Structure 1
Amino acid sequence: MSVINSDTIKKDAGSFLDRLGHTLTQRPFYHAGGWLAFFVFLVLMQWRIGDFSFGLSVASEAINVVFYIIIVYINLLYLFPQYLKKGQYWTYLLLLIGVALIFTPLKLVLKYFLFSKVGSIQDDILNNLYAYFFSTFLVAALSTVGKIMIDWIVQNRKKTVTENESMQSELRFLKSQINPHFLFNTLNSLYALTLKKDDKAPDIVIKLSEMMRYMLYECNEPRVPLKKEINYLRNYLDLERLRQRKGIDIQLKVNGNVSDQMIAPLMLIPFLENSFKHGVNANIKDGFVVATLNVEPRAVHFILENSKGSQMPSQLHGSRPSGGIGLVNVRRRLDLLYKGRYELNIRESPSTYAVHLDLELAPAPIAELPAQTVGSAGESKNVFR
């Protein structure tokens, strides 16, 4: 029972502190706190520097602060939004000076009669008329500077939040396009094989099932283990080998240590999709797709070269023909997720199309994944020599 009471007390205390924190961060409370701190500062300065007692300093500065409050809120609630924010700078400046000229004499007259029996205060008023006006105007001007700074901070914060929300929304949209794009291409191939009653159809279903499980259940995070992404690429190329005609050279070579590095999901697959859709499938003669992934502790270098059909589009350079959604998306995703941390080079010739992507990753490696080759053609080979 005592444990329950202790937990209840802690919960109530935490709830109270939360409510207190929320209340104290409301505008009236932090404004009041600011004015109170300013008042204490003025009293201490007047008491130490002037010839007045502590009680007299409190009374005198209380009047000053009341007039400062009036002038500041006239400025913030009326002059600032009605004139300064609308670009009427000179009008605003003249009105601010005018307000100071009106309220400074009112304050001095009030203090003069309230402290009629205190000659030192009356002498201070008569000898420092310009100083009183300047201090009033300075407080109003400082409130303007503070308001401008706060508005700037708020606008930057809103801009940052908006940009982050826009980026996340765009990433979700881009990613949602990748999955149906791949599924559409694969189901077309599966449909063609089932019509022929080809024995390869069940293998394709199994591979597709593994890939869809990865896309549906593991690609919802912003980063996935590089190991799983590589396994996805292998499954994809195995599937392509099953449905491609004989003689097509398909290879994937992985070099380096693959451990706990993380990568944005489905970042490399659009390049392979493009190689088959617009490269190998467009060739009449035997074609090839050769991919090499060189893995470093904090980076990967993806090199892909494929045979090129005469109509293969250069989608990464801006055009967007039908079926080219994947590569357009990967360029945009790279800009959003790896801005300043990637380099993408495209090399094109009459017969080949090559992609070289350098991407910064983390963290450092732990275990080594031996180099492997996917494909029916004997030994793997380097893309760029």
Structure 2
Amino acid sequence: MTVSQIFFGRRAVRHGLVWLVVVVFYGLKAWQEPIPTGIMHSLESSAAWIAVLALVIYAHFWLLANLLERRRVALYLLATAGLLLAGGALHYFLKELVTASPVKFPGGLYGIGFRIGYLAGKAASNLLPALLLATTARYVRRGTVSHLQMQQLRALQLETELSLLKAQVNQHFLFNTLNNLYGLSLAAPDQMPEALLQLAGLMRYQLDSSRQSTVTVGTEAEYLANYIGLEKLRLRENTKVEFLTDLPHPDRPLAPLLLLPLVENCFKHAIDPSGKNTIRIQLTQTDTGLTLRTGNSIPAQFRPAPSGLGLPTLRARLAQFYPGNRHRLAVEATDTFYAANLQLVF
């Protein structure tokens, strides 16, 4: 558990640290008094003030939870005004006990009004700013915790979607590949060992990447090469596939299976049994980033299907692992060609 998690998650620790800062502040302020009696007098006054302040703040927290947050606004405002007056009165009486120099008020009804006005002024000038500060801190903390919880839930959702994506790839791709391997064993048995090694490498990578938060650029490129090699087993001679890589820094970390959706789309949408098909995949790397460019021809009879998990999950994972300007995904589609350009900044 991190320091921030302890601070935001444990109420006693959080409030204890804040009140410790308050006590130290008033203690240092009292220490600046010129004579020992002045120091003791200031310490006693500060202790009385801190006690009143704590009572008012925690009582106001109760009003927030039980009145304002239940939309009983009028009752909340009335109770808060009463709380401030009561806090001002309590502060006055405690200060009077400590200093032994009470404020003299006029008598009669005028004196009662003067007392109420005096206490209201003291409450407004002393307690109200502290109350506003404590309330702001309460809701800022609550907003921060909610934001952290939303991030955790979003990360969990993305991991779930990634697991679904892996399961989808495993089921459909493995089924098609096994059929292709069966055909290959009859038509070209000498190519079977290489194809089986590619399939083993692909399955091993998916198993290993599911246990890791990051892989390397080199292992991701090897995975794509195995995937493309196995996909080519089912293609006819009228389909041209190009896969080019330039990776001077293959050990750089990368989120697993981040590039697969764009490569997978090329083979889903580019196959025309009668016409010529073209698939181009280029993976290049610089000192500061990685770029994947994919492009494929689109058959005349192709009809786009509703989007699955691939691209939406990709965009969400890009926003999580490469937020803001650290990624750019551009897609261009015409009636005959589809191109995607993904740029990552390390």
Q: Shorter chain as normaliser: what TM range? A: 0.7 to 0.9
Alignment of 1:244-283 (within 5 A): 244-255=235-246, 257-280=248-271, 282-283=272-273
Instruction: From the superposition, tell whether residues 314 and 162 of structure 1 become closer, same or farther in structure 2 (CA, over 3 Å).
Output: farther
- Which residue of 2 is the match for residue 14 of structure 1? none
Whether 2:134 is the aligned partner of 1:144: answer: no
- Which residue of 1 is the match for residue 318 of structure 2? 334
Report the TM-score when normalising by structure 2. Answer: 0.75
- Which residue of 1 is the match for residue 5 of structure 2? none
Contact 2:239 2:278 in 1 (8 A): yes
Whether 2:216 is the aligned partner of 1:228: answer: no
The separation in 1 between residues aligned to 2:303 and 2:253, in whole angstroms, is 31
- Which residue of 1 is the match for residue 279 of structure 2? 289
- Which residue of 2 is the match for residue 359 of structure 1? 344
- Which residue of 1 is the match for residue 196 of structure 2? 205
- Which residue of 1 is the match for residue 6 of structure 2? none
Offset at residue 141 of structure 1 (A)? 1.6
Instruction: From the superposition, tell whether residues 99 and 48 of structure 1 become closer, same or farther in structure 2 (CA, over 3 Å).
Output: farther
The separation in 2 between residues aligned to 1:313 and 1:58, in whole angstroms, is 81
- Which residue of 2 is the match for residue 180 of structure 1? 167
Offset at residue 239 of structure 1 (A)? 1.8
The AA in structure 2 aligned to 1:156 is G
Residues 202-258 of structure 1 show CA distances to partners (whole Å, capped at 9, x for unaligned) of 433221101111111135323221111111112222222333223421111123523
Offset at residue 105 of structure 1 (A)? 5.1
- Which residue of 1 is the match for residue 140 of structure 2? 153
Residues 157-204 of structure 1 show CA distances to partners (whole Å, capped at 9, x for unaligned) of 222322221222122122212323332223223225426742244433
The structure showing larger relative contact order (alpha-carbon pairs under 8 Å, at least 6 residues apart) is 1
- Which residue of 2 is the match for residue 366 of structure 1? none
Alignment of 1:1-385 (within 5 A): 25-26=12-13, 29-30=16-17, 33=20, 36-37=23-24, 40=27, 43=30, 53-59=38-44, 62-77=47-62, 79-86=63-70, 92-102=76-86, 104=88, 108=92, 121-122=101-102, 134-183=121-170, 184-194=172-182, 197-198=185-186, 199=189, 200-255=191-246, 257-280=248-271, 282-312=272-302, 314=304, 319-320=306-307, 324-340=308-324, 341-360=326-345, 362=346
The separation in 1 between residues aligned to 2:246 and 2:87, in whole angstroms, is 79
Offset at residue 68 of structure 1 (A)? 4.4
Contact 2:44 2:98 in 1 (8 A): no
Runs of 5+ consecutive residues of structure 1 not aligned to the other structure: 1-21, 363-385
Offset at residue 27 of structure 1 (A)? 6.5
The AA in structure 2 aligned to 1:353 is Y
RMSD across aligned C-alpha pairs, in angstroms?
Answer: 3.8
Runs of 5+ consecutive residues of structure 2 not aligned to the other structure: 1-8, 107-113
Instruction: From the superposition, tell whether residues 310 and 162 of structure 1 become closer, same or farther in structure 2 (CA, over 3 Å).
Output: farther
Instruction: From the superposition, tell whether residues 202 and 40 of structure 1 become closer, same or farther in structure 2 (CA, over 3 Å).
Output: same
Contact 2:87 2:127 in 1 (8 A): no
Residues 117-167 of structure 1 show CA distances to partners (whole Å, capped at 9, x for unaligned) of x6xx24x56699766653344443234213322222322222232222122
- Which residue of 1 is the match for residue 111 of structure 2? none
- Which residue of 2 is the match for residue 3 of structure 1? none
Report the TM-score when normalising by structure 1. Answer: 0.69
Three-state SS of the structure 2 residue aligned to 1:239 is helix
User: Structure 1 residues 228-237 or 83-92, which shifts more?
Assistant: 83-92
Three-state SS of the structure 1 residue aligned to 2:157 is helix
The separation in 1 between residues aligned to 2:312 and 2:93, in whole angstroms, is 74
